[in-house]
Amino acid sequence: MTAKSIGWRVWPLALAALIAVAACGGGGSQSSSQNVKIPDKTASGTLQIWGFGDDNVTAKSRLDAFKAAYPNVKIELTPGSLDPQKFLSAVAAGSPPDLVNLNRAKLSTYANRNALTPLDDYFSAAKLDTSQFRSAAMKPLQVNGKTYGVPEFNNVIVAYVNNKALKEAGAQLSDVDFSNWQKLSDLNRKLSKVGPDGKPQRVGIDPKLPEFTPLWVYGNNGKIISDDGKKALLDSKQTIDAVSYAAGLRDGYGGQQAYDAYSQTWDIFGKGNPIAADQIGVTLFEQWWLATIGKVSPNADFSIVPFKARNGKELTYADGNSWAVPKGSKNAGLATAFMKFMTDPDTWVLSAKANVASLQGGVFTGIYTANTKADKRIFDEVYKPSGKASFDDAVKIFQRIQDEAVTLPPSAAGNEVVQDYTDAVRNVLLKRQPADAAMRAGNQKIQAALTNPG
C-alpha cells in the first residue's frame, strides 16, 4: 500500500529548482566566438554525457575510437533516454552534464526555455561543417536563428510489404501506392483477414496512426504547424482528409479497438515479427526495423515500398537523435570536440566496419547517419549487397529517399503539439468525433500551446 505517487518528487524538485534559480540569478552570457576554445587531442578532463549508452556496436565502436584519440579524457555515461526531470533539475541547479543526447523533436522545447547552449560559435571554432548534415535532420536543431545541436541518425519511414500476403491476395507490388487512395483501399480489403469471431487475423494496411500522422498530412499537402512554429494548421481540409482516410483503413480489419488488441500481441523485435508471422500485409514503419529483421529473420520474404504523396512524389518523415550542450556546461569546448568526432565520416566508417564484423549470420543494411559524407563513404567503402533481394532493394530505397524527408518544424511547445494531434487522431480512430471536429479541437489546443508555451 505504499503510496506510489509523484507528489514527493514534485515538491522537493520545485524547492531545489527555485533555490537554484535564485542562486544563479537565472542569467549568464553566451560565449562569443573569440572566447570559445576547442581542446585538441591532448586535452584532459571528464566528460559527463546523459542519454547515451555504449550497449550497442554502433555506439561502442565510436566511443572506443574517441577514447583512443583523446586518451586523457574520461567519459562518464548515463544511458537510456534523457530524463527530463533530472535534466531540467540539473540545469536549474547549475550542475548540468557536459553533453546530452536526445530525440531531435524534443530539442526545440528545451532550446526555447534556454536550457541549451547555442553552438554556432563553437561550431565555427571547431570548424564543424554543418552543411554536411541532411537538411531534414538540421531543421529541428535550428531554433530562433541559432543552432543547438549536431544530428546523428536519419530514421525515415517506409512501407514494409509482406510478399506472401500480397501473392495470396493476387496483388502486385505496384498496387502498394500511397498516392492512390482508392487503389490502397482496395488492397487493404484484399489483404485483411478477419476471423468468424470478428477478430483480425491479418491487418491489411497499417497506417500507423496516430504515430505517423505527420507523414499522411504532409503527403496530402497539409501541415501540422506552420514552418515558423507559431501557427497551428491541424484544421485544414488537407489535414482532415488525410486523417479521415488513413483512420478509415482500420475499418477494413475490425476497427481501432480490434487493431489495438491484435497489435499488442506482436513480437516486433523477434523471429515471430508480424511480417514473418503473416500478421500484417503492409505496414508503415521506421527504417531501423530492417536491421532488426536482418538479424532475426534474414530469410523473411518482404519488400520495401516508399510512401508517396498524393502528387505521386516519394515522401518520407525523418526522425533521429541529436547531441546538444546544456546551458551551464563546464566543458562545452570538449563537448564540441566530442560531437564533431562522433559524427565525423571517419568515425562512422569505423563504426560501420565494426557492425559488419559483429554480424553473426545477419544482414548488414547500412547505417544512415544524417551525415551525407559519412553515408556515402559507408555505402562506397563498407556496405556490400547481401544477395537477398528483399534487403538489397530496401537499402537502395533507403539511400534514395534520405533527402525526401520532411519533419515537424521546431516550436516552443514540441511535446504538446505531438500530444495534442495524437489525442485528436485517437478520437477519430475510436470514432468519438468525426475528423473535422477532432482536428478543429486539436487545432485549438495546439494553437493555445504555441501561443502560451510557458
Partner 1 sequence: MLSPWIFGFLIFTLGPMIVSLALSFTRYDVINPPEFIGLKNWALLFSDPLLLKSLQNTFFFAALHVPFAIAIALALALLLDQISRGAGFFRTVFYLPSITPAVATGILWLWLLNPQVGIVNQFLHLLHIPGPGWTTDPNWIKPGIVLMSLWGLGNTVVIYFAALRQVPNELYEAARVDGAKPWAQFFRITVPMISGTLFYTLVINTIFALQYFTEVYTMFFRGQESGVSEDALFYVIYLFRQSFEYFHMGYASAMAWLLFAIIVVVTLVQVGFSRKFVYYEGAS
Q: Is 51 exposed, middle or buried (0-12, 13-18, 19+ CB in 10 A)?
A: buried
Binding mask 228-257 for partner 1 (x = CB under 8 A): ----------------------------xx
3 state SS of 370: coil
Of all helices (H) and strands (E), which one includes residue 210? none
Minimum Å gap between C-beta 267 and partner 1 is 12
Q: Please list every residue from 286 through 345 that binds partner 1, using CB under 8 A.
A: 327
CA-based nearest residue to 363, from 271, 306, 290, 302: 290
Pairwise CA distance, residues 113 & 75, whole Å: 27
Binding mask 74-93 for partner 1 (x = CB under 8 A): ----------xx--xx-xx-
Which of the ranges 14-22, 65-73, 343-351, 385-393 carries the binding residues for partner 1, by CB under 8 A?
14-22
Residue (89 or 287) nearer to partner 1, CB: 89
399-423 burial, b at 16+ Cβ within 10 Å, e below that, comes to: bebbebbbbbbbbbbbebbbebbee
Residue (84 or 248) nearer to partner 1, CB: 84
By CB under 8 A, tell whether 131 contacts partner 1.
no
Pairwise CA distance, residues 140 & 447, whole Å: 19
Minimum Å gap between C-beta 194 and partner 1 is 12
Half-sphere exposure of 6 (CA within 13 A, CB side): 4
Contact 219, 411 (CB under 8 A): no
By CB under 8 A, tell whether 359 contacts partner 1.
no
CA-based nearest residue to 126, from 336, 346, 324: 336
DSSP character at residue 359: -
By CB under 8 A, tell whether 1 contacts partner 1.
yes
By CB under 8 A, tell whether 449 contacts partner 1.
yes
Minimum Å gap between C-beta 202 and partner 1 is 13
Q: Count residues binding partner 1 (CB under 8 A).
A: 52
Helices 414-429 and 435-451: crossing angle in degrees, nearest 10, is: 170
Residue (83 or 227) nearer to partner 1, CB: 83
Sign of the CA dihedral with 29 first, then 35, 41, and 45 last: negative
Residue (30 or 256) nearer to partner 1, CB: 256
3 state SS of 432: coil
- Pairing, β 99-103 against β 316-324: antiparallel
The three grid cell numbers given for residue 133, joined into one nine-digit string:
548534415
Contact 250, 259 (CB under 8 A): yes
Binding mask 424-443 for partner 1 (x = CB under 8 A): --xx--x-x-----------
Which of the ranges 262-270, 341-349, 392-400, 403-411 carries the binding residues for partner 1, by CB under 8 A?
262-270
Q: Is 30 exposed, middle or buried (0-12, 13-18, 19+ CB in 10 A)?
A: middle
Pairwise CA distance, residues 415 & 339, whole Å: 25
Minimum Å gap between C-beta 179 and partner 1 is 24
Minimum Å gap between C-beta 83 and partner 1 is 9
By CB under 8 A, tell whether 4 contacts partner 1.
yes
Binding mask 374-413 for partner 1 (x = CB under 8 A): ---------------------------------------x
By CB under 8 A, tell whether 23 contacts partner 1.
no
Residue (190 or 426) nearer to partner 1, CB: 426
Q: How many CB atoms lie within 10 A of CB 329?
A: 22
By CB under 8 A, tell whether 196 contacts partner 1.
no
Does a cis peptide bond (omega within 30 degrees of 0) precede residue 210? yes
Pairwise CA distance, residues 183 & 188, whole Å: 9
Which of 358, 416, 436, 444 touches partner 1 by CB under 8 A? Answer: 416
Which of 56, 135, 265, 311 touches partner 1 by CB under 8 A? Answer: 265
By CB under 8 A, tell whether 225 contacts partner 1.
no
CA-based nearest residue to 84, from 61, 65, 60, 109: 109
Residue (298 or 453) nearer to partner 1, CB: 453
Minimum Å gap between C-beta 377 and partner 1 is 34
Minimum Å gap between C-beta 55 and partner 1 is 19
Residue (263 or 386) nearer to partner 1, CB: 263
Minimum Å gap between C-beta 325 and partner 1 is 14
Residue (238 or 415) nearer to partner 1, CB: 415
CA-based nearest residue to 332, from 17, 39, 3: 39
DSSP character at residue 382: I
Partner residues linked to 45 by β-bridges = 73
Query: In the complex, which residues of this chain contact partner 1 (CB under 8 A)?
Result: 1-7, 10-15, 17-18, 21, 26, 84-85, 88-89, 91-92, 109, 113-115, 199, 210-211, 256-258, 260-262, 264-265, 327, 413, 415-416, 418-419, 422-423, 426-427, 430, 432, 449, 454
